[in-house]
Chains A and B, each alone.
Chain A
């Protein structure tokens, strides 16, 4: 997962007017790091209208539709933290993990992210972190086992 996450794609002090604004900011972040074409941004908004990408623990994982896959240049993640929170169809979202994925790679990627979020301590640390390095470290599966 760390290889997929460019430091430039981590923003921990984002502010969004609403859900769609938050999604578009994720899309533009993926665009800025060269992972997607511009059409992917609206594909992400469309996907969200189809079904919510809220996964729990204050986290949403916006990503494009299948039709939007052609707009993906390479697999990548972005992490946007909204300290003020975003109303996500009634859920309170603090962290968006935006996803650009071409093939099946994102199934494993989502599995890793979900395993991190199932650990309440790690989920809280992710939501509350204001340090880019810490966020990148938290998103590395088994990072603790390596360093301890």
Chain B
């Protein structure tokens, strides 16, 4: 199964806002993507509760996996998202 392993760049980890952006992007993919930490259980990347339950901190390596049509493109898109500091993209006035 195609996978991508990436360190989470968001400076506060995959918590509420970065997690919400990631989950939304995962839900937009045509192929279901799962996410896991190390050898832990893989959970649906499109589930906010499942992603939050992983408790991913800044710099933690996570592995994304997907199978089926468009899997590689979906994994590339989501891995690229995690490699960005999503916290830094918060609107300056927020």
Binding site for B on A (CB under 8 A): 46-47, 49-57, 61, 63, 65-67, 104, 106-108, 110-115, 117-118
Whether A51 lies near B13 (C-beta < 8 A) is no
Alpha-carbon distance A118/B48, docked complex (angstroms): 10
Q: Which range holds the interface residue count of chain B?
A: 20 to 34
Listed from nearest, the 4 A-B pairs whose CB atoms lie closest are A111-B55, A114-B52, A114-B53, A107-B13
13 contacts between A and B (CB under 8 A): A46-B94, A50-B90, A51-B16, A51-B17, A52-B20, A61-B16, A65-B90, A66-B90, A106-B12, A106-B15, A107-B13, A114-B51, A114-B53
- Identify which of B12, B20, B51, B56 contacts A51 (C-beta below 8 A): B20
Binding site for A on B (CB under 8 A): 12-17, 20-21, 47-58, 87, 90-91, 93-94
Whether B94 lies near A118 (C-beta < 8 A) is no
Alpha-carbon distance A108/B93, docked complex (angstroms): 27
